[in-house]
Amino acid sequence: MKFTVNGTARQVDVEDDMPLLWILRDALGITGPKYGCGIAQCGACTVLMDGDAVRSCQITSDMLEGADITTIEGLGTPQALHAVQAAWIEHQVAQCGYCQSGQIVQAAALLARDPAPSDAAIDDEMSGNLCRCGTYPRIRAAIRTASRTLQEG
């Protein structure tokens, strides 16, 4: 199976039904995407696949041939932040932070598609990403800030 992760070509030899989440975490050592539920209920494992936000716990290796995967690490780094990450820092969104990789990737996908989302569009897009710590008010605020930054930029 050949595919790209954060711009680097990767190849793994695993079972057809092994999920991308575990390929990333255990085979490739990319730990930004988190395991929360394994059944598409929490969104902690969210990554971009050819630009779309997907639950990596549901993407099996047989779907990966030629795919372009971006994880939170590929979105931006502490030295070169993505606008969404910068907004997350400005609003100090995180509590435990465990859900936030998935939240940020999901928000980045939304803003790439819809740079000025309505409140309803934010609610629709983000409701598959569970935050057990309850950071939702800050997530909404950070998305609005990132939206402004991206439009000005």
* Residue 12 binding target from ligand FES, another protein, none, CB below 5 to 8 Å by type: none
Q: Which two tokens stand for residue 19?
A: 């999920």
Cβ-based burial of 97 (10 A; exposed 0-12, middle 13-18, buried ≥19): middle
Name which of 112 and 133 has its Cβ closer to another protein.
Answer: 133
The phi, psi pair for 97, rounded to 5°, reads: 85, -5
- Member of 20, 83, 99, 107 binding ligand FES (CB under 6 A): 99
* Residue 45 binding target from another protein, ligand FES, none, CB below 5 to 8 Å by type: ligand FES
User: What is the distance in angstroms between the CA of the first residue and the CA of the last residue of the chain?
Assistant: 37
Residue written as tokens 């400005």?
Answer: 90
Q: Which residues are near another protein by CB under 8 A?
A: 15, 18-19, 22, 25-27, 29, 31-39, 41-42, 44, 71-73, 75-78, 81, 85, 88-89, 92-101, 104, 122-124, 126-140
